[in-house]
Amino acid sequence: MKKKRQAPSDSNTKSQTLEQQALSQLNSAHYKEAIGLYKKLWQDSDNDEWREKLAYCYLQRALSFASRGMVKEALVLWENYTQYAQKPYQAYDHYISWLIQTKNISKVQSSLAELTVQQLDKQYPALASLLGLLMLTEYPEFQQNLPQDSAFITDLKVVQIALKAYQDDNQERLNEALKQLPYRSAFRDLRTILTAITTELTSVEKIQILLDKIPTHSAYSKIAGLLFACTQDGSELTQRLIPFSHKQRKVIAEIKGLNKKQIDLIEYLSRQKIPLSDKIKFNLAIKYQSLYGSEAAQNFCQLMLLSYPAGRRDFKKNFTSTNEFEQNRLEALNCEQNENSYKAEHYWRQCVAILAKEAASNGLKIALILRHIAKQYEDEIERIELLIESLQYDPEDLDSYLQILRYFSQPYEDVEDYKKWLAKTLEKFPQQIEVLTLAIQTATANKAYKKASQYAKKILKIDPLNSFAKQILFTSHLAHARRLIQTKKYHLVEKEIQQADDLNLGKACSTKTQLMRGLFYFASQDKKQGLQLFVESLNKLHSNPVNACFQAAMEALLTGLPVATILRELTPAKDHLLSEQGLKQLIQLLTEYESEESHQELIHKALERIKPALKNSLRQQAYDENLLLRLCQTLDDLNHYELLRHCSKMALRKWREPIWIYWVIYSETNGNPEQCTVWNINRLNAQLELASEKKDHRVMVLINSYLDRYYQAYPERGMGFLDDLFGYDEEEGDDDFEDPIDALFGHISEQAFNKVNKKLDALFKTTSPEKLIQQLQKDTGNNKNILLAMMQNPDVFSALMIIRAADEAGVDIDVSVEDIVEYFDINNQNSSSPFPF
């Protein structure tokens, strides 16, 4: 019988697995676990790599313990580190500093003896700085343990000479010694301190600037902090002294000449480990009022009474009674703290009345109180009314004017109010750039370009580098140049172009002026030269032929030049697509031309030249949704509903979101809700609900605005009055509500719906309920209940109209009149009147 062969030893496999685990722990900074695993490996084999890893883990643990203030534990781990590491040891400077902290002087000295010149002078600057300070104060004996040929020892001897000169009050010798210290000397921070305390400086601020140069990690930072405290007074001095030791505070107190009461207060504050309570603050102010001054202490305690009302008795005992104004002021502040703004205003108004009686010079105080009240109000109207009132007492407050202007600039506010306040603000602050900027924006919006230019020139007199004003002037000069070319006043054109050029707004603007020169030359001088310059400039502005074609057409139309002649010199746009960047540039161009000239008709004509390319781009390119939303808004501003329809329908194929359904319906009605069908109104209401669920406020505003305009045009279609008339509780059964139109026709495809919808638009304009019944009689027979149902429920009329529209459009929607009769349960409604009473 044969013996079974023994399986090969798996010790190598175990070692590899253990090593992988150890390395994983090390890489995860789990050094304790890694040490345990590497020790197991080390027991099996004397592997140098494992020994190095063990040493590394012990060192990292030592550094970690030291960083948490556990220096003794760090020293134990260091000893373990040295068992596996070889000299020169890493982080040797840290080890010596740990020994110094534990005051193990014998070990410190033996460790210092092992330092090399390179380590002391180059590798361990922080340790060298610390050793320098210790040798000048507590441990001068360390000097004999260090390499005597080091730069450190040379600098130490120079510093000792400098300190002797300082003690002897020999400023000249001190300065000479300090000049000998190299820039990177271990004693450079001491040099800064000696300079700060000996140089005759003109201000405390300059001393503080010198002391601030000493970094927080420097061995001399505490000395710098003590000296800095000596430059402080009052609360700043108190805050500086609190973190110091009792001994250090005593030294500073002697230097500053603080009295016993001041020292007692500082010592009391330094013993507090938690923030002071209101009661303690109040009592301290009373106890030490001789330090603060009686008036300051009284004012402080008055304010503290708001949060510490229990102190009223002590307040009356220690201070004189407050006047009527102060009593009302405190009551107002107390009400505000309790969030009772209504009652607070009452007390503030009492304060205003008192100030008004006292003297006319109290106007500023009254205005400040009114502005303070305004800040407490959430209601914008009340806030603005208070600000307007405040200007009667202090008409010089720019911020109040700006807040009023911001309020009246809102779309739903009266434009005339805004114009009135802008005129007042301009009259009061004719040199304020912020006000002039608002004036420019208003003038531009009103197409008053001459006024805008005048305001821009004013800004440039105040701020010659203001880019906004320069851009306004640049635009104005080019617009004027176009008008001059159009009216054939060629002798004035070059001057306008040159003035635009002189603004030096950069390469792009310089190219635009060259573009205008090209048109000028084409119109007045050499057509060939002009076209060449125009085309060269256009190609610099646009790498895409589509945008180049649009701008060329636009410029030709604005100057009255032949569009076709100019476009023949360009690459045709029809075979090109717009990149995402190209579409951004087109939107920018459209916005600029709209704001500069407001010639929508000309913009539409220029868009005709690139319409095929733009439509192809929208069909084929994968644009970002936000970019397409920007395009839709721009096209809406231009009233270009054809392109808006195309853009929104392309987007709707990709994103079935409320915003795109809104834009599709909006564009199909050319922005006119009166043309909207009931079907689409129902769709918009559904999208409004969805937008509300998604908290999409932008879409909610757009849809609500459109629906409001629709119901203003057709108030009878709102039918809201019937809910109250019949006692219908709209909260009851909300969760179970089903939209009848969606229930009956929600299955219709988008393509089929579009066909039906087009026919529906026409039918709604010509078909009454009675006429509809006549047309559907072959399906309904003589069913009078259907007419009554239509009168009672508009959804019945809408549903039957959709069936009629589908029939005329030749679209099979798989819904019959019988389905509608059954859905609304019309046959069981026996009332002979549309009103059940």
CA distance 37 to 16: 12
Provide the domain limits for residue 626: 542-636
CA distance 495 to 477: 9
- Contacts of the segment 23-27: beta carbons below 8 A, 24+ positions apart: 23/53, 26/53, 26/56, 26/57
Amino acid at position 253, single letter: A
Q: In this predicted structure, what is the pLDDT of residue 830?
A: 47
507 in any annotated domain: yes
Whole-Å CA distances, 278 to 3, 238, 265, 303, 321: 92, 19, 17, 11, 21
Burial per residue of 564-588, b for 16 or more beta-carbon CB atoms within 10 angstroms, e otherwise: eebbeebeebeebbbeeebbbbbbe
Cβ 591 vs Cβ 634: under 8 Å: yes
147 pLDDT exceeds 90? Answer: yes
Q: What is the mean pLDDT of residues 666-688?
A: 87
489 in any annotated domain: yes
Q: In this predicted structure, what is the pLDDT of residue 100?
A: 92
Q: Can you read off the two tokens belonging to residue 10?
A: 């798996």
Name the helix (H) or strand (E) containing 450.
helix 449-462
Same domain, yes or no, for 438 and 488? no
726 vs 8, higher pLDDT: 8
635 pLDDT exceeds 90? Answer: yes
Q: What's the pLDDT tens digit per position in 509-563?
A: 888 888 888 888 888 888 888 888 988 888 898 888 999 999 999 999 998 889 9
Q: What's the pLDDT tens digit per position in 592-613?
A: 888 765 578 899 999 999 999 9
DSSP per position, 148-209: TTSHHHHHHHHHHHHHHHHHTT-HHHHHHHHHTS-TT-TTHHHHHHHHHHHS--S-HHHHHH
With tokens 């201000």, the residue in question is 203
Same domain, yes or no, for 665 and 779? no
Cβ 530 vs Cβ 555: under 8 Å: no
Q: What's the pLDDT tens digit per position in 706-726?
A: 888 888 877 756 544 333 333
Q: In this predicted structure, what is the pLDDT of residue 232?
A: 83
Cβ 818 vs Cβ 790: under 8 Å: no
Cβ 704 vs Cβ 666: under 8 Å: no
CA distance 289 to 294: 6
Q: In this predicted structure, what is the pLDDT of residue 609?
A: 93
The angle at the Cα of 638, spanning 635 to 639, to the nearest 5 degrees, equals: 85
**Is the bond into 88 cis (omega within 30 degrees of 0)?**
yes
- Give the Cβ contact number of residue 334 at 10 Å: 17
Same domain, yes or no, for 420 and 455? yes
Whole-Å CA distances, 555 to 242, 478, 519: 73, 11, 8
Same domain, yes or no, for 125 and 172? yes
730 pLDDT exceeds 50? Answer: no
- Give the Cβ contact number of residue 615 at 10 Å: 15
Instruction: Cite the DSSP H helix spans in 319-448.
Output: 324-337, 341-358, 363-376, 380-390, 398-408, 415-428, 433-445
For every residue of 626-687, which 3-state class applies, written as one string?
A: HHHHHHHHHHHHCCCHHHHHHHHHHHHHHCCCHHHHHHHHHHHCCCCHHHCCHHHHHHHHHH
Q: Would the pTM count as exceeding 0.75?
A: no
Same domain, yes or no, for 89 and 171? yes
Q: What's the pLDDT tens digit per position in 288-305?
A: 888 888 888 888 888 788
- Contacts of the segment 25-31: beta carbons below 8 A, 24+ positions apart: 26/53, 26/56, 26/57, 29/60, 31/57, 31/58, 31/60, 31/61, 31/64
Torsion of CA 15, 17, 21, 26, to 10 degrees: 50
Same domain, yes or no, for 518 and 530? yes
State percent of the chain over pLDDT 90: 30
The angle at the Cα of 435, spanning 434 to 436, to the nearest 5 degrees, equals: 95
CA distance 377 to 370: 11
200 pLDDT exceeds 90? Answer: no
Q: In this predicted structure, what is the pLDDT of residue 605?
A: 92
Nearest to 672 by CA among 706, 722, 721, 634: 706
The one-character DSSP state at 123 is: I
Nearest to 567 by CA among 535, 533, 600: 535
**Is the bond into 740 cis (omega within 30 degrees of 0)?**
no
Nearest to 811 by CA among 748, 733, 768: 748
732 in any annotated domain: no
794 pLDDT exceeds 70? Answer: no
Q: What is the mean pLDDT of residues 740-746?
A: 74
Confidence of residue 626 (pLDDT cuts 50, 70, 90): very high
CA distance 575 to 568: 15
With 0-12 CB in 10 A as exposed, 13-18 as middle and 19+ as buried, what is 194? buried
520 vs 273, higher pLDDT: 520
Same domain, yes or no, for 693 and 704? yes
653 pLDDT exceeds 90? Answer: no
CA distance 374 to 387: 7
Q: What is the mean pLDDT of residues 417-446?
A: 88
Cβ 376 vs Cβ 344: under 8 Å: yes
Name the helix (H) or strand (E) containing 527.
helix 527-541
Confidence of residue 156 (pLDDT cuts 50, 70, 90): very high
Same domain, yes or no, for 149 and 26? yes
Cβ neighbours of residue 583 closer than 8 Å, sequence gap 6 or more: 617, 621, 623, 627, 631
225 pLDDT exceeds 60? Answer: yes
Chain Cα centroid distance, residue 601: 38
Chain Cα centroid distance, residue 303: 35
296 in any annotated domain: no
Whole-Å CA distances, 713 to 199, 535, 706, 723: 85, 50, 11, 20
Q: In this predicted structure, what is the pLDDT of residue 720?
A: 46
48 in any annotated domain: yes
Q: What is the mean pLDDT of residues 754-766?
A: 67
Q: What's the pLDDT tens digit per position in 206-224?
A: 788 888 888 988 999 888 8
Instruction: Cite the DSSP H helix spans in 257-320.
Output: 260-271, 278-287, 289-292, 294-304, 312-318
Among candidate residues 490, 511, 541, the one where a domain is terminated:
541
Confidence of residue 643 (pLDDT cuts 50, 70, 90): very high
588 in any annotated domain: yes
Cβ 696 vs Cβ 659: under 8 Å: yes
Among candidate residues 636, 666, 688, the one where a domain is terminated:
636
786 vs 138, higher pLDDT: 138
Name the helix (H) or strand (E) containing 195.
helix 188-198
449 pLDDT exceeds 80? Answer: no
With tokens 């019944």, the residue in question is 773
The one-character DSSP state at 234 is: H
Cβ 117 vs Cβ 141: under 8 Å: no
Domains identified in the chain, total number: 6
With tokens 């002979």, the residue in question is 832
| Domain harbouring 119, CATH code | 1.25.40
Confidence of residue 130 (pLDDT cuts 50, 70, 90): very high
- Give the Cβ contact number of residue 2 at 10 Å: 4
816 in any annotated domain: yes
Cβ neighbours of residue 222 closer than 8 Å, sequence gap 6 or more: none
Amino acid at position 753, single letter: F
Same domain, yes or no, for 76 and 190? yes
- Give the Cβ contact number of residue 625 at 10 Å: 13
CA distance 333 to 308: 13
Expressed in percent and rounded to 5, the helix, strand and coil fractions of the chain are: 75, 0, 25
**Candidate from 32-41, 527-536, 670-679, 734-743 with smallest mean pLDDT:** 734-743
Nearest to 374 by CA among 385, 364, 383: 383
CA distance 519 to 530: 6
Chain Cα centroid distance, residue 475: 30
Among candidate residues 465, 491, 525, the one where a domain is terminated:
465
Name the helix (H) or strand (E) containing 774.
helix 769-775
Same domain, yes or no, for 79 and 141? yes
Same domain, yes or no, for 664 and 805? no
Confidence of residue 6 (pLDDT cuts 50, 70, 90): very low
Q: What's the pLDDT tens digit per position in 371-427?
A: 999 998 888 888 999 999 999 999 999 999 999 988 888 766 678 888 899 999 999
Cβ 729 vs Cβ 713: under 8 Å: no
Query: Please, what sign has the CA dihedral across residues 334, 340, 385, 325?
Result: negative
Whole-Å CA distances, 271 to 208, 242, 254, 399: 27, 8, 20, 45
Task: State the number of CA atoms in the 13 A half-sphere of 18 facing the CB.
Answer: 18
Cβ neighbours of residue 677 closer than 8 Å, sequence gap 6 or more: 757, 760, 761, 764
Q: In this predicted structure, what is the pLDDT of residue 766?
A: 63
- Give the Cβ contact number of residue 489 at 10 Å: 12
Same domain, yes or no, for 471 and 604? no
Whole-number average pLDDT of the chain = 84
363 in any annotated domain: no
Return phi, psi of residue 621, to 5°.
Answer: -90, 145
Q: Can you read off the two tokens belonging to residue 461?
A: 């007199």
